[in-house]
Structure 1
Amino acid sequence: MRREPPRSLADYAPIAFPAIMLLVFFVIPFSTMIAVSFFRRDPAGFYSRDFIFDNYERFLSAFFGGVLSFSIMLAIVVAIICVILAFPFTWLLSQASRRVQIVWLVAILSVLSLSEVIIGFAWTTLFSRTAGLTNILVWLGLMSEPHALMPNFGAVLTGMVYQALPYTILVLYPAIVRLDPTLMEAARTLGSSPLRSFFNVIVPAMRSTITATLIMVFVFALGSYLLPQMLGRPQHWTLSVLITDQAIYQSNMPFAAAMAVFLVLMSLAFVGLTLLVGARKGAEA
């Protein structure tokens, strides 16, 4: 079936509304942010109009390098842990009955309704000394007195994995459900154990999906803001927290805009990489 080229302006009508939405809510704000990133900071206000590269030159500082390295490292660790936990869970879920799958999917979707603020306060309570998990260990006689489990890197990692895990499961679920069930049957017929069949057949067959999911979760975790701030110390703050700190508390809007431009471009690069992986997967299919 051959696609007919547009012949009149009316043929472009279906894409007019998405194009306007993209222009209003992305192109114009992002262009404004780029322009502000070249302005000069004004101690008496937010900024003064100028065209300087000082804000981008600060990217070469050791402090920015440390924040960026930690943000990338944290996002990578969150993505890997989420995929390691979500992939076998989603596979087992796909093998269950339809009723069980619906119950679990509804539960997962209900978790998505929780905002980052609610998740942050919930984990803050669980990790606190007065009402946290260590009080249960004291009650069981495993600890002498309760301790606070935050702020530290482990608390930040736990909260971010909890937040990203439902998204990971929902991304993996459609691809795993569509997987040919005869692959496992053939492996079992050839004498392979269920565990070995899973790692030698299912995982390689889902290689492209796993890669795309890793990139998606990485981009999602890279923009996390509240959880690192609520569950960690300043050395555990991500680039998103630093952007807010510079814009609101330091009144350095140009530098915040420069960091935001950098973060958006990095996220778009990884989204493009995800699309490339998806296109290659489609070509292989």
Structure 2
Amino acid sequence: MAQARDDAPTPGWLGVVPGAALLLLFLIPFGIMLAVSVAGREPGGFYQWGFDLAGYRRVMSAFVGGILLTSVAIAAGAALIAVALALPFTVLLAGLSRRAQTAILVALLSVLSLSEVIVGFSVSTLLSRTAGVGNLLAWLGLTAEPQSYTPSLFALMTGLTYLSFPYAVLVLYPPVARLDPELGQASRTMGASPLRTFAGVTVPLLRAPILGALILVFVFALGSYLLPQVLGRPEHWTLSVHITDQAIYQSNLPLAAAMAAVLLLATLALVGLALLVARDKGAPA
């Protein structure tokens, strides 16, 4: 009876709920955004339905293109740093006792409860000249006087990495916890160092989870809005900041919608390219 129940096909109606959620939460809003992106702008912040590509012509300018490249570079850098830190941390975490793992995972989940506002201003204070690490470095004699490290690209990457690190750990933890510990023991028995075991055994076995963590953190960092303004300089402002500026402060909804559409399509293209490269590398020769 149990075997027959396990072999029963999945009811087709179960796909209705996620399909309806996808339709209501993504496809319909995306369609409205596309319609607004080609609408004509009117004075006072309003728009008139039509087919005007003025917004896309401005998006294709060198200025907006540079902002998009900056956004992608910052998001990719944050993803690489966060995953590079999260992977060895997760491997060490999986080797601890169950009680210690639970305590650390709860602490990481508590970090996720912090808003981007709290993290942004906390990192800004930590890297400031008056109340930050600059005073500590000066007290230790490493610098002549306290210095401010914000706003800067370093401060922005620090904030993005802090926010992204728990997500990377939570994505990597289940596959890392399922790894057979005998594989690492066999590698060390053959004379490999712990570092070589990590690079030659652990990392190849976690190729797919690592890619998943990179994609998740990349998409998360690409949509960051507050941290680039609080921690970065104007040249570090991402496309999300400029979209908000056009929609709220410049009252240019068609241009904001066109920029958002291009950002979303660029994100989907980069994610698809990453998945395609990973599949090709994983294919047998």
Task: State if a TM-score over 0.5 links the two structures.
Answer: yes
Matched-pair contact (CA < 8 Å) for 1:208–1:281? no
- One-letter amino acid of the structure 2 residue matched with residue 26 of structure 1: F
- Report what 2:40 is aligned to: 40
Cα deviation, residue 249, structure 1: 1.0
Matches within 5 A, 1:58-137: 58-137=58-137
Partner letter of residue 103 of structure 1?
A: A
Against the structure 1 CA distance between its residues 283 and 112, is the aligned structure 2 distance closer, same or farther, given a 3 Å change threshold? farther
- Contact 1:212–1:278 (Cα < 8 Å) also in 2: no
Aligned counterparts of 1:130 and 1:213: Cα–Cα separation in 2: 36
For this pair of structures, how many residues does the alignment match?
Answer: 279
How big is the shift at 1:193?
Answer: 1.6
Q: 2: CA distance between counterparts of 1:36 and 1:141?
A: 57
> Paired residue for 2:181?
181
Q: Distance in 2 between matches of 1:215 and 1:169?
A: 13
C-alpha distance in structure 2 between counterparts of 1:80 and 1:256, whole Å: 29
Q: Secondary structure at the match of 1:251?
A: coil
2:145 corresponds in structure 1 to 145
Of 199-208 and 89-98, deviating more is 199-208
Residue 250 of structure 1 deviates from its aligned partner by 1.1
1:158 matched residue in structure 2: 158
> In structure 1, how many angstroms separate the alpha carbons of the residues matched to 2:10 and 2:206?
36
1:266 and 2:266 correspond: yes
Stretch of structure 1 that moved more, 114-123 or 262-271: 262-271
Inter-partner Cα distance in structure 1 for 2:155 and 2:54: 35
The Cα of 1:87 is off from its aligned counterpart by 0.6
Tell which deviates more after alignment, 212-221 or 246-255. Answer: 212-221
The Cα shift of 1:278 comes to 8.9
AA aligned to 2:49 is R
Q: CA deviation at 1:92?
A: 0.7
Corresponding residue of 2:54: 54
Stretches of structure 1 lacking an aligned partner (at least 5 in a row): none
Is residue 219–residue 270 contact of structure 1 (8 Å, CA) maintained in 2?
A: no
In structure 2, the partner of 1:239 is: 239
Shift of 1:144: 3.9
Moved more, 123-132 or 89-98: 123-132
For the 8 Å contact 2:123–2:159, the answer to whether it is kept is: yes
- Give, in whole Å, the separation in 1 of the partners of 2:277 and 2:65: 29
Question: Which amino acid in 2 is paired with 1:227?
Answer: L
SS in 2 for 1:67: helix
Q: 2: distance between equivalents of 1:269 and 1:48?
A: 30
With over 3 angstroms needed to count, the CA separation of the structure-2 counterparts of 1:94 and 1:259, relative to structure 1, is: same
Contact 1:212–1:277 (CA<8 Å) still a contact in 2? no
Q: 1:264: how far off? A: 2.1
Aligned alpha-carbon RMSD (Å): 2.5
Contact persistence 1:150–1:232 (CA under 8 A):
yes
> 1:248 maps to which residue?
248
Deviates more, 1:138-147 or 1:213-222: 138-147
Q: Which amino acid aligns with 1:240?
A: S
Query: How far 1:22 moved relative to its partner?
Result: 2.8
Corresponding residue for 2:3? none
* TM-score, L = length of structure 2: 0.89
CA distance in 2, matches of 1:87, 1:15: 34
1:139 to partner: Cα distance = 3.3
Q: TM-score, normalised by structure 1?
A: 0.89
SS in 1 for 2:45: coil
Cα distance in structure 1, aligned partners of 2:269 and 2:259: 15
What is aligned with 1:209?
Answer: 209
Report the AA paired with residue 18 of structure 2: P
Which AA in structure 1 matches 2:30? F
Stretches of 4+ aligned residues off by more than 6 angstroms: 274-284
2:221 counterpart letter in structure 1: A
CA–CA distance in structure 2, aligned partners of residues 179 and 280 of structure 1 = 24
Q: How far apart, CA to CA, are the structure 2 residues paired with 1:216 and 1:66?
A: 23
Contact 2:44 2:251 in 1 (8 A): no
